[in-house]
């Protein structure tokens, strides 16, 4: 065996079988070229497979180059990394806590979470390795591995769940980097973000959805600026079982989160489920309510009369309330009874009762989401007077708004109690 044979195999087309044959009974412990050992070159090789022949021949998993990179660093950075090679290095004692000595101060896990070919299988191997609290290690930019994983375009639901299970509560979850951004900020910016990812992250102990970065953006600001934002994603922030999200936070540009929304369905959701101190720009001044376009006869008259009893708002507000999970079941029952009315007049009493129940849901949404100071403006803008029962509620509702000016969930609960 010559050294050139080894260098040729680790730098060119990597061949573990060929290495196994020429390294029988040989040692490569002292081999080095330009600061890298054969194991460094193998881990950097895009055709890397098993590293066992090199390890058996004395390759050190602790060898570092001039920037402090170990073979494990290079393997985790390699886009062609495989679980076999990763497991071999870790079982041979490679340090998962090794930190580079350059300005980046990166660990192998930082590199793996940046890798465009990261997978749940690779993360499982790395996160199962012994060696201490390397999950929360911050690099030279203040980023944890979770920051990089959350921003990775290869991110999948199972990868994030693995990383979150390995992240100690109330620590790495809300680590802010040099831009004061958390991993939640980066997840919300990622085009691959899913409702399941947000659900998992927002249910972590210690999570704070109102943390602002260095330009005042909360994670919700960032999500609303994401071209892939959907109502399903927005709902995760508004869920009743997660910490309350402040939709009135203003960034350094003077913008609130929902101001950045562009899709019509998302705008409608924002119009209905953001505390309102001003009238949203509406495509129409026509008051919202049940669509009467296809109705005739007595039913048309009844629905028009029912619409007239609603508070003033536009169709976008009404549609958003209809789609809200908390009210969805009631509205579906309304629709079912409305259909049944066409064939069975005996269902009229049940329909009227359900419509009264549905109206309570709409009133609840209106008084909990539109500040009382704006009620008169809404009445003027949407050409519908305030219902008398809503007017009578105003003193009590004003107290609720004073007590919970930014907590939507608390206002909903207090108004619901008020309406009982």
Q: 117-130 pLDDT, tens per residue?
A: 999 999 999 998 88
Mean pLDDT value across residues 7-36 = 91
Q: Are residues 307 and 203 in the same domain?
A: no
Q: Are residues 13 and 155 in the same domain?
A: yes
What is the phi-psi region of residue 142: left when phi exceeds 0, alpha when psi lies from -120 to 50, beta otherwise?
A: left
Identify the pLDDT of residue 132: 58
pTM of the predicted structure, to 2 decimals: 0.72
Mean pLDDT value across residues 390-410 = 89
Residue 320 belongs to some domain of the structure: yes
Q: Are residues 20 and 163 in the same domain?
A: yes
Residue 219 belongs to some domain of the structure: no
Identify the pLDDT of residue 279: 46
Residue 270 belongs to some domain of the structure: no
- Give the separation between CA 223 and CA 257, rounded to whole angstroms: 8
Residue 257 belongs to some domain of the structure: no
Confidence of residue 342 (pLDDT cuts 50, 70, 90): low
Q: Are residues 302 and 174 in the same domain?
A: no
- Look at 113 and 247; give whichever has higher pLDDT: 113
Comparing 22-36, 52-66, 290-304, 354-368, the range with the smallest average pLDDT is: 290-304
Comparing 28-37, 44-53, 268-277, the range with the smallest average pLDDT is: 268-277
Out of 213, 236, 265, a domain closes at 213
If one counts the domains in the chain, the total is 2
Angle between helices 348-369 and 264-273 in degrees, nearest 10: 80
Res. 283: pLDDT tops 80 = no
Res. 87: pLDDT tops 50 = yes
Identify the pLDDT of residue 133: 60
Residue 221 belongs to some domain of the structure: no
- Kind plus residue range of the DSSP H or E element containing 297: helix 297-308
Residue 51 belongs to some domain of the structure: yes
Interior/surface letters 133-159, b for 16+ CB within 10 angstroms, e for the rest: ebbebbbeeebbbbbbbbbbeebbeeb
Res. 273: pLDDT tops 80 = no
Report the chain's mean pLDDT, rounded to a whole number: 89
- Give the separation between CA 61 and CA 40, rounded to whole angstroms: 9
- Look at 409 and 146; give whichever has higher pLDDT: 146
**What is the per-residue pLDDT across 345-384, written as a single tens digit (0 to 9) for each?**
667 888 889 999 999 999 999 999 888 888 988 898 888 9
Identify the pLDDT of residue 170: 53
Comparing 11-20, 161-170, 378-387, the range with the smallest average pLDDT is: 161-170
Identify the pLDDT of residue 69: 98
Closest CA to 338 of 304, 293, 311, 303: 303
Q: Which long-range contacts (CB under 8 A, 24 or more apart) does 99-104 make?
A: 99/68, 99/137, 100/67, 100/68, 100/69, 100/73, 101/64, 101/67, 101/68, 102/67, 102/68, 102/140, 103/140, 104/139, 104/140, 104/141
**What is the per-residue pLDDT across 179-233, written as a single tens digit (0 to 9) for each?**
999 999 999 999 999 999 999 999 998 899 999 999 999 999 999 999 999 999 9
Q: What is the CATH number of the domain that holds 141?
A: 1.25.40.20
β-partners of residue 276 are: 370
Identify the pLDDT of residue 169: 64
Confidence of residue 420 (pLDDT cuts 50, 70, 90): confident
Identify the pLDDT of residue 141: 95
Q: Are residues 73 and 208 in the same domain?
A: yes
Identify the pLDDT of residue 105: 96
Out of 196, 213, 230, a domain closes at 213
Comparing 19-33, 78-92, 191-205, the range with the smallest average pLDDT is: 19-33
User: DSSP characters for 335-396?
Assistant: HHHHHHHTT-GGGHHHHHHHHHHHHHHHHHHHHHHB-GGGHHHHHHHTT-PPPHHHHHHHHH
Look up tokens 């960034």; give the residue.
251
Identify the pLDDT of residue 284: 58
Mean pLDDT value across residues 38-49 = 96
Q: Are residues 205 and 62 in the same domain?
A: yes
Identify the pLDDT of residue 88: 97
Look up tokens 């943390």; give the residue.
211
Confidence of residue 142 (pLDDT cuts 50, 70, 90): very high
Residue 292 belongs to some domain of the structure: no
Containing structural domain, residue 384: 298-419
Q: What percent of the chain shows pLDDT beyond 90?
A: 57
Residue 263 belongs to some domain of the structure: no
Res. 248: pLDDT tops 50 = yes
Q: Are residues 155 and 34 in the same domain?
A: yes
Out of 193, 213, 233, a domain closes at 213
Mean pLDDT value across residues 147-166 = 95
Q: Are residues 354 and 208 in the same domain?
A: no
């Amino acid at each position: 065996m010559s050294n050139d044979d080894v260098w040729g195999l680790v730098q060119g087309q990597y061949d573990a079988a060929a290495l196994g044959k020429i390294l029988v009974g040989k040692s490569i412990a002292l081999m080095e070229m330009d600061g890298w050992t054969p194991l460094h070159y193998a881990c950097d090789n895009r055709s890397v497979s098993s590293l066992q022949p090199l390890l058996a021949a004395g390759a050190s998993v602790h060898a570092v180059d001039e920037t402090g990179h170990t073979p494990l660093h290079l393997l985790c950075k390699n886009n062609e990394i495989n679980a076999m090679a990763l497991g071999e290095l870790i079982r041979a004692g490679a340090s998962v806590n090794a930190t580079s000595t350059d300005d980046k101060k990166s660990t192998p896990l930082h590199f793996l979470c940046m890798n465009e070919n990261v997978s749940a299988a690779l993360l499982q191997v790395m996160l199962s390795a012994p060696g201490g609290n390397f999950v929360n290690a911050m690099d030279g930019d203040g980023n944890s591995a979770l920051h990089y994983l959350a921003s990775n375009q290869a991110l999948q639901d199972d990868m994030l769940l693995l990383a979150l299970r390995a992240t100690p509560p109330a620590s790495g979850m809300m680590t802010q980097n040099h831009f004061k951004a958390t991993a939640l900020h980066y997840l919300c910016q990622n085009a691959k973000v899913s409702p399941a990812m947000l659900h998992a992250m927002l249910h972590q102990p210690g999570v704070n959805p109102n943390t602002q970065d260095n330009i005042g953006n909360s994670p919700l600001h960032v999500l609303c600026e994401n071209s892939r934002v959907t109502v399903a994603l927005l709902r995760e922030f508004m869920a009743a079982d997660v910490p309350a999200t402040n939709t009135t936070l203003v960034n350094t540009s003077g913008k609130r989160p929902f101001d950045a929304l562009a899709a019509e369905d998302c705008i409608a959701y924002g119009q209905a489920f953001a505390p309102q101190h001003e009238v949203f720009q509406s495509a129409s001044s026509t008051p919202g309510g049940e669509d009467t376009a296809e109705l005739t006869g007595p039913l048309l008259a009844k629905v028009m009369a029912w619409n007239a009893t609603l508070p003033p708002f536009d169709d976008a507000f009404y549609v958003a309330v209809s789609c809200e999970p908390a009210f969805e079941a009631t509205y579906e029952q309304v629709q079912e009874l409305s259909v049944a009315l066409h064939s069975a007049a005996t269902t009229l009493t049940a329909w009227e009762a359900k419509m009264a129940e549905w109206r309570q849901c709409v009133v609840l949404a209106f008084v909990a989401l539109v500040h009382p100071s704006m009620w008169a403006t809404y009445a003027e803008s949407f050409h519908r007077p305030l219902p008398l029962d809503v007017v009578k509620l105003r003193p009590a509702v004003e107290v609720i708004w004073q007590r919970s000016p930014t907590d939507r969930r608390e206002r909903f609960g207090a108004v619901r109690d008020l309406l009982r």
